[in-house]
Amino acid sequence: MKRFMGYNRRRRTQRRLLAETGGCCIYCGRRLDEFTVSVDHIVPLSRGGLNEDVNIVASCYYCNHLKYTMFVKDFIGLLSYKKQRAFYNRIKTLCRQGKLSEDKYMLLSHIGAVSKMSRINIQFGRFQFRCVFLLNIRDKKPKK
Ligand SMILES: [Zn+2]
């Protein structure tokens, strides 16, 4: 029973992620369905990424496998110029259409090189809030 529920939950997550990317792999634009989608951690878990909704995105198995423990900018940097442009245009369009959240867009476009994510729990009387912070540390510009 537990396994069955886990399966349904995973399917729901997959469908939601597919809606965010318009049914495409976020990195290469390949068409995906619920059988070919895989869930990629934008900031890899091994590099401080969290297993939170803001940090997961629909990708094809191929890109997910290739990206592995790389940051988005390092992975995208391996692609041809044309594919890089297509990626940035894709995420910009999805964000403008309101499909992709701004936080996710920020993480994917590494505006200011997102280097860390952290999570804190805030206790307020009987209520507990869970916050996820995206710490954006801007690339230092060389001094003139
Ligand atoms: Zn792909």
Structural domain spans, the chain: 2-111
Q: Ligand 1 centroid to 9 CA: how many Å?
A: 23
Q: Ligand 1 centroid to 134 CA: how many Å?
A: 25
**Which element (helix H / strand E) includes 137?**
none
Q: Ligand 1 centroid to 116 CA: how many Å?
A: 24
CATH architecture of 2-111: Orthogonal Bundle (1.10)
Which protein residues have their CB within 5 A of the ion that is ligand 1?
25, 27-28, 30, 60, 63
Q: How far is CA 11 from CA 3, 17, 18, 141, in A?
A: 12, 10, 10, 43
Q: Ligand 1 centroid to 21 CA: how many Å?
A: 12
Evaluate whether 100 touches 91 at the Cβ level (below 8 Å).
yes
pLDDT in tens, 97-140: 999 998 899 889 875 444 556 666 666 677 766 666 665 544 44
**SS3 at position 60:** strand
| Whether pLDDT at 17 is above 70 | yes
Q: What is the pTM of this model?
A: 0.77
pLDDT at residue 121, rounded to an integer: 65
* Closest of 62, 63, 49 to residue 117, by C-alpha: 49
